[in-house]
Structure 1
Amino acid sequence: MDLQSKTVKLRLIEEQDAEFVLKLRLDDRYNQFLSSVNPSVEAQKEWIKQYKNDEVEGIQYYFIIERLDGTPCGTVRIYDLKEDSFCWGSWILNEDKTRYAALESAFLVYQFAFEHLDFTKSHFDVRKGNDRVISFHEKMGAVKTGETELNLLFKITKEAVAKTKTRLMSKLI
């Protein structure tokens, strides 16, 4: 499946991405709302190996977000697959991102999950205080369903994403 938009694409993670992922996750500019990570490249490679096994089993997927010129600029994961819903997160974009990388990568995540994996909705959480990401998801059509001590819980439907994509992408073209 081709997961490419106007300025970015998604590709499945490989072991050689360990250093890039670790650099992102250890960078204080990006990790404020992420869980902590072992600072070892070898540990990251082992984690990626497990993801590759889970990918083959259809359990979860980890993507590198790249500009169309091949420059990596972020990560995103799809996990916690349920009957008709999936979760996504670990969404990080660095300074190499394109202007619309957030919007494009989100639509690519939904494209993969709705078209390739055949889900009809998504559930996800966003750390409290991560106001830009909360606002982004709400503008996409996500609805708050609850909260935990750390996170706000959301859901979004395939229909809501399609409606938002039609509305937003027509403005960008």
Structure 2
Amino acid sequence: MKLTSKTICLRLIEEQDAAFVVQLRTDGKYNKYLSAVGDDVEAQRQWIRRYKDDEKAGDQYYFIIEKLDGTPCGTVRVYDLRPTSFSWGSWILNEDKTQYAAIESALLVYEFGFGQLGFGQAHFEVMKGNDKVVSFHKKMGAVEVGEDDAHTYFEISRGAVEQAKERLARIIG
């Protein structure tokens, strides 16, 4: 499965992506607002192997974000599938990303969750202090629905994403 936008695509993760994921998730420039992971590539490869069972069962989907030339530039995961909503996270983009990779990857996630999986809304959390990502989601139309000591919780509807997509059409093509 490959989801393609103007400058990037999402493809399902494979075992050979383990080193890239470890490098990305252990880089201090990108992991401040993510759950901690170790630097063991073989352990990551084993995690991916186990994850593939969840993928086959339709329980979660982990994507590598790539530029159209095949250069990996990030990750994103769709998980916590509920009767009417899905969550997404593990969203990281490195310095190899394209100018609009954040917008494009978010819209591809929504296209996948709403279009391919058939959900009407998404739910997700953002770690407190990650103001740039909070601002991004609010501009996309996400609504804050709660918080705890560590996270702010959001929901976004298919309609809100469609409105954002219309506003962003000239940027994303």
TM over 0.5: yes
Equivalenced residue count is 173
Q: What is the SS of the residue equivalent to 1:99? A: coil
**Where in structure 2 are the equivalents of 1:146-161 lying within 5 Å?**
146-161=146-161
Q: Render the CA deviation track for 1:30-54: whole Å, top value 9, x for unaligned.
A: 0000001121111101111121110
Compared with structure 1, are the counterparts of its residues 171 and 102 closer, same or farther at alpha carbon in structure 2 (3 Å cutoff)?
Answer: closer
Provide the TM-score with structure 1 as the length reference: 0.98
Deviation per CA, 1:113-166, whole angstroms, max 9, x where unpaired? 111100100000000100110000000000000001100000000010011101
Looking at structure 1, the residues matched to 167 and 36 of structure 2 have their Cα atoms a distance apart, in angstroms, of 36
Q: Runs of 5+ in structure 2 lacking a partner?
A: none
Amino acid at match of 1:123: H
Q: 1:170 Cα shift?
A: 3.0
Q: Which residue of 2 aligns with 1:115?
A: 115
CA contact (8 A) 2:18 2:45 kept: yes
Q: Distance in 2 between matches of 1:171 and 1:6?
A: 9
Q: Say yes or no: does 1:16 pair with 2:25.
A: no
Aligned residues: CA RMSD: 1.0
Shift in CA distance, 106/88, structure 1 to aligned 2, threshold 3 Å: same
Amino acid at match of 1:7: T
- Percent sequence identity is 61
2:52 matched residue in structure 1: 52
Matched letter for residue 104 of structure 1: E
| Aligned counterpart, 2:136 | 136
Aligned to 1:63: 63
Distance 1:144 1:58 in 2: 27
What TM-score comes out, normalization by structure 2 length?
0.98
